[in-house]
Chain A
């Protein structure tokens, strides 16, 4: 099977971002929090992308910031997936009151924009990495819940699920051994989209000053730090903005490809 160009581009860029995030310590030319040059210097051989609002190397901060952005996004989308798909499968298998209760709760949370819910929650919770991951993960799990419930409702009426129940298998066997393997392919494509959502969400929160706090930084926070430079024509704020855009678009390309692959698989095992 041939890989389309867009998928190849998306995969290699996503891989590159992951590689840089994992090995940030060894790749970044300067420390994260050290003023090494003048304020808002342009790109040069010494500072490839120039320096920021207090003279720190932008490239190094981008590398460390990417680590935080990707880590938070990954952790919260994994949380969203474990929570959302487990509850979604549970609702589909149990049905009745459990299903009603869970579904109405999800409807309620989804009736308000996620950003507004997050802002209300963050006005009381302490601002640290764990809280941010929990807030984004829980809010995002509502979408995973709807998808996995819809997928699982279709699977739950299949003969092999019926057979497993008649064999006397327990609830957890039915969820993990019968439904999960068969629901995996649509969920994998969705994972990419949820990851992008988490990247955009954490970036927006940090940009509003309610996400990652110094001395740590992420791309949204870097845009915030450097935004005033734009008035004087300094493009420093555009670098992290471009990084967010590049990450979101490349993951999108991969997710698109997985989505078309899995939907063409629906008919059988071929393709």
Chain B
């Protein structure tokens, strides 16, 4: 088998193994913490008989490991169980919200990726001079802020100082695509601000790293213009690290989206998760937590796989 393929298969297998381990942490780790599901549902005033009945009904008397495999089997067949708080089917509730989250994150990704790469190229082109210092200074500041703080500064700026947008984002079924785009404009801007800084700084570092190679010096000595050097010589070699950067930041978007959804009361997966953490609805939290973890692990795995495939040194076995 081709060595690249071996590496890719190994990496994917490692990712799947990691995902399995993470599912065990999410289920068994929580079991190990103090807290009683039956008590959580019925409250402090519940009688011992009622508690015992409910434990029986929920299968809480089985050993944790049995329940883990029952849960895992359910997850693999698309059955995520029912919510403790309202008895709704979790898979259905997630299905309704997943689209909204993907729409928001997708819009943010579509804007932030090209923008970050262009800004990163500009910063690398003028490294150490004022455009670089300006871009790096601004991004350093946004990195030091939590997502929700950045969010409220952007909201205040764009709804009060320059009233361009509505401060709430409502998306409901039956809305036209255009109307949806308008509704999510502000959350998308916030997410872009949050992700852009990380992505741009890593792009800049990746390109600057390539710029120190001998072939770049040759290109410069040939008398090529700086932009041609970057575009024709540095960028193709920087693609692998840049793609890895983009993927890592898409993973970062996964966390950002949770907070931004709460900021805008945007009815999607992150809001659903946070709501049910405060309601102490464990099955929902475990299911949504697993989804977020799976997306995060998959994106990281994808970054590695693209890195392996695009590395020319691995393409020609000795």
Cross-chain contact of B159 among A119, A230, A245 (Cβ < 8 A):
A230
Contacts of B317 in A (CB 8 A): none
Query: With contacts A119-B273, A119-B285, A120-B289 known, is A230 near B148, CB below 8 A?
Result: no
Query: With contacts A124-B30, A207-B148, A252-B144 known, is A235 near B262, CB below 8 A?
Result: no
B167 at the interface (CB under 8 A from A): yes
Q: Which residue of A lies closest to B274 (CB)?
A: A208
A13 at the interface (CB under 8 A from B): no
B135 at the interface (CB under 8 A from A): no
Query: With contacts A111-B22, A113-B254, A230-B159 known, is A119 near B152, CB below 8 A?
Result: no
A196 touches B144 (CB 8 A): yes
Distance in Å: Cβ of B83 to nearest Cβ of chain A: 12
Contacts of A230 in B (CB 8 A): 152, 155-156, 159-160, 167
A223 touches B285 (CB 8 A): no
Contacts of A252 in B (CB 8 A): 140, 144
The CA-CA distance from A116 to B270 in the complex, in Å, is 10
Q: Which of B34, B147, B254, B289 has the most CB of A within 10 A?
A: B289
A235 touches B285 (CB 8 A): no
The CA-CA distance from A124 to B254 in the complex, in Å, is 23
A108 touches B18 (CB 8 A): yes
B63 at the interface (CB under 8 A from A): no
B152 touches A238 (CB 8 A): yes
**Which secondary structure characterizes the binding site on chain A?**
helix
The CA-CA distance from A252 to B152 in the complex, in Å, is 21
B274 touches A123 (CB 8 A): no
The CA-CA distance from A123 to B279 in the complex, in Å, is 8
B residues 193-227 in Cβ contact with A at 8 Å: none
Contacts of A241 in B (CB 8 A): 148-149, 152-153
A204 touches B147 (CB 8 A): yes
Distance in Å: Cβ of A251 to nearest Cβ of chain B: 9
Encode contact with A along B249-281: 1 for CB under 8 Å, 0 otherwise.
Answer: 001001100110011000000000110111011
A210 at the interface (CB under 8 A from B): yes
B75 at the interface (CB under 8 A from A): no
B147 touches A116 (CB 8 A): no
A216 at the interface (CB under 8 A from B): no
Query: With contacts A112-B293, A244-B145 known, is A235 near B280, CB below 8 A?
Result: no
B111 at the interface (CB under 8 A from A): no
A residues 83-98 in Cβ contact with B at 8 Å: none
B277 touches A122 (CB 8 A): yes
A25 at the interface (CB under 8 A from B): no
Contacts of A208 in B (CB 8 A): 259, 262, 274, 277
Query: With contacts A120-B286, A207-B259 known, is A245 near B149, CB below 8 A?
Result: yes
Distance in Å: Cβ of B307 to nearest Cβ of chain A: 17
A3 at the interface (CB under 8 A from B): no
B156 touches A235 (CB 8 A): yes
B277 touches A203 (CB 8 A): no
The CA-CA distance from A198 to B297 in the complex, in Å, is 23
The CA-CA distance from A123 to B188 in the complex, in Å, is 28
The CA-CA distance from A111 to B15 in the complex, in Å, is 10
The CA-CA distance from A200 to B152 in the complex, in Å, is 15
The CA-CA distance from A146 to B140 in the complex, in Å, is 24
The CA-CA distance from A4 to B256 in the complex, in Å, is 34
Encode contact with B along A98-126: 1 for CB under 8 Å, 0 otherwise.
Answer: 00000000001101110110011111110
The CA-CA distance from A252 to B141 in the complex, in Å, is 10
A244 touches B259 (CB 8 A): no
B145 touches A113 (CB 8 A): no
A238 touches B22 (CB 8 A): no
A39 at the interface (CB under 8 A from B): no
B152 touches A125 (CB 8 A): no
Query: With contacts A230-B155, A230-B160 known, is A223 near B148, CB below 8 A?
Result: yes
A237 at the interface (CB under 8 A from B): yes
Distance in Å: Cβ of A246 to nearest Cβ of chain B: 10
Q: Which of A109, A196, A208, A230 has the most CB of B within 10 A?
A: A208
Contacts of A248 in B (CB 8 A): 144-146
Q: Which residue of A lies closest to B291 (CB)?
A: A116
Contacts of B65 in A (CB 8 A): none
Contacts of B251 in A (CB 8 A): 113
The CA-CA distance from A109 to B18 in the complex, in Å, is 10
A203 touches B149 (CB 8 A): yes
B7 at the interface (CB under 8 A from A): no
Task: Enumerate the 9 nearest inter-chain pairs by beta-carbon distance, A residue then B residue, closest first.
Answer: A124-B35, A123-B285, A248-B144, A200-B146, A241-B149, A112-B293, A113-B255, A123-B277, A120-B289
Q: Please, could you name 21 A-B residue pairs with CB atoms under 8 Å apart, sorted by A? A: A109-B25, A112-B292, A113-B255, A115-B259, A116-B255, A119-B277, A120-B26, A120-B277, A121-B29, A121-B30, A122-B277, A123-B280, A124-B280, A124-B282, A204-B259, A207-B259, A210-B274, A220-B146, A230-B160, A231-B167, A248-B144
Beyond A113-B254, A119-B277, list 8 extra A-B contacts (CB 8 Å): A112-B293, A116-B258, A116-B292, A220-B146, A223-B148, A241-B148, A244-B146, A252-B140
